[in-house]
Amino acid sequence: MTSSKAAAHPGPVPVVAPPGTETVRLAWASSLALPAATLLVAVLVLVAWQYLPPALGVPRFIIPTMTDMAAEMGRMWRQEDLLTHLLSTASMAAIGFVAGGILGAGCGYALGLSPLWEKVLSPYILALQIAPKVAFAPLFIMWFGYNAWPKLIVTVLVVFFPILVNVLQSMKTTDRDLVNLARAYSMTRAQIFWKVLFPASMPNLLAGLRIGATLAVIGVTVGELVGGSIGLGYLITYGEGQANTAMVFDAIVLLTVIGIALYWMVAAAEARILHYLPKVAG
């Protein structure tokens, strides 16, 4: 119960506890003390946010108070069709994440199975990986127009590479003796892939998906900021044009919530899939 309350107030630092990391410290903290401490930090930050800027004489159009933001959130809900924007951004992030994940993983496995192509293509992969993908957004708008495609493509690109690189890494580092064992059992290449290489890549794939989940929101946001008429990124530029700081803050908060939701879904899947690893299970 307490932990779900803590989750409702995401601060700038995600309060997501990666599974397993806190087990060592649980010696002093009973199961309730830790979530209570996390909740306390959230309350302190929110209270400071509410009272500190006015006390220091910072005007509300620079840093809006919590109550301003709550009021603005209500106004956006009623007058700016907030739900449509929220759902648009969330669905774009989710679709881009899934598409980028499938493409990235697919290419990672394909390159992992063909070392020759991996060697031929690796400099280009590196170059594309380093190139700032969000900078392509204006280009995609010129090519595809002011619709959903540019932001979707940016999101797919942003998600694609960390997953590709992680999967490829796993394919290259899987224990050769495991592969030899499968070969000695006269398994076919397809059997070796599905019974050894693919399951062995799960930890890396999920690590890639975790990174991808956080990047997906960035991709969508940039796409919406650059050219869009819908979505939370659009609300940010709109709020900026009206000097409505509270609106910008609210949109940022909601974007963070979408990112955390995506991340949690991956983390939950990971906990289920990687149950056989002592760290995650314990």
Partner 1 sequence: MNAAVSQSASPVELKPRPEAQAVPEPQTKATPALSFDGVTKRFANRTATPFTAVEGLSFDIAPGEFVSIVGPSGCGKSTVLNMTAGLDRPTEGRVALNGEAVTGPNVHVGFMLQKDLLLPWRSILRNVEFGLEARPIGKAERRERALRELARCRLQDFAHHYPFQLSGGMRQRAALARTLAIQPDVVLLDEPFSALDAQTKLLLQRSFARTIHASGVTTLLITHDLSEAVAMSDRILVMSERPGRIVEEMDLDLPHRDDPIARQALPRAREAIAHLFQSLHLAEREA
Which chain residues interact with partner 1 by CB under 8 A? 175, 177-178, 180-181, 183-188, 191, 195-196, 199-200, 202, 275-278, 281
Q: How far is the CA of 40 from the CAs of 4, 48, 254, in angstroms?
A: 13, 12, 22
What's the closest the beta carbon of residue 174 comes to partner 1, in angstroms? 11
What's the closest the beta carbon of residue 175 comes to partner 1, in angstroms? 7
Rounded to an integer, what distance in angstroms lies between the CA atom of residue 40 and that of residue 276? 34
Q: Is 15 helix (H, G, I), strand (E, B) or coil?
A: coil
Both structure tokens of 200? 């062995």
Rounded to an integer, what distance in angstroms lies between the CA atom of residue 249 and that of residue 255? 10
What's the closest the beta carbon of residue 280 comes to partner 1, in angstroms? 10
What's the closest the beta carbon of residue 200 comes to partner 1, in angstroms? 8
Rounded to an integer, what distance in angstroms lies between the CA atom of residue 211 and that of residue 265? 12
What's the closest the beta carbon of residue 105 comes to partner 1, in angstroms? 17
78 or 275: CB nearest partner 1: 275
157 or 197: CB nearest partner 1: 197
CB neighbours of residue 20 within 10 Å: 14
115 or 199: CB nearest partner 1: 199
Of 194, 197, 205, 191, which Cα lies nearest the Cα of 172?
Answer: 197
What contacts 154, CB < 8 A, 6 or more positions away? 96, 133, 134, 136, 137, 140, 219, 220, 222, 223
75 or 195: CB nearest partner 1: 195
What's the closest the beta carbon of residue 16 comes to partner 1, in angstroms? 24
The answer to whether 178 touches 200, Cβ cutoff 8 Å, is yes
Rounded to an integer, what distance in angstroms lies between the CA atom of residue 234 and that of residue 147? 12
